[in-house]
Amino acid sequence: MKYIFTAHGHPNILATHRTTLEITKDSELTTRGNCVVAVAADFSLERIRELIQNCDRIKLTITVAGMKDEITAAPNRSYSSDTELVLRKGDFLSDRTLGTRAGKAAADLKRGMIDALKSGNMAATITIDVL
């Protein structure tokens, strides 16, 4: 099973955070949000919650301008944010945490892909797969 949604780039994307990665529905971004890799996402909380309820691992794939990167994580079945989706390398849980023990954070993503997202309103396809 998988779920696909879209998000967009923004000139203020830094993607330099070493322990977290965030995708947000917000359309604006300041440089303080250094874990954010995409904005203006159109994900459905209900669809994501349905998807992650009965799995042990998830894989999030970000595809931009023909480039892609993949991150695996343990799903947080208590995920409940309708505006933000966060993957964390550690075990910290909050309502925004979709997954913990992630294999990558924002700083680990392919720089060419991040540069494409920084170039403006570049569209990204985000896929969440159950493993």
- What is the average pLDDT across 19-23? 98
Mean of pLDDT over the chain:
96
Band (120; pLDDT cuts 50, 70, 90): confident
Structural domain of 121: 2-130
Band (6; pLDDT cuts 50, 70, 90): very high
State pLDDT tens for residues 50-109: 999 999 999 999 999 999 999 999 999 999 999 999 999 999 999 999 999 999 999 999
- CA distances (Å), origin 95, targets 77, 78, 81, 87, 125: 10, 7, 6, 12, 23
Per the structure, how many domains does the chain have?
A: 1
CATH, residue 10: 2.60.120.630
The whole model's pTM is what? 0.96
Percentage of the chain beyond pLDDT 90 is 95
Query: Do the strands 36-38 and 97-100 form a parallel or antiparallel pair, or are they unpaired?
Result: unpaired
The DSSP code sequence of 43-92 is --HHHHHHHHTT-S-EEEEEEETTEEEEEEEEE-TT---SSEEEEESS--
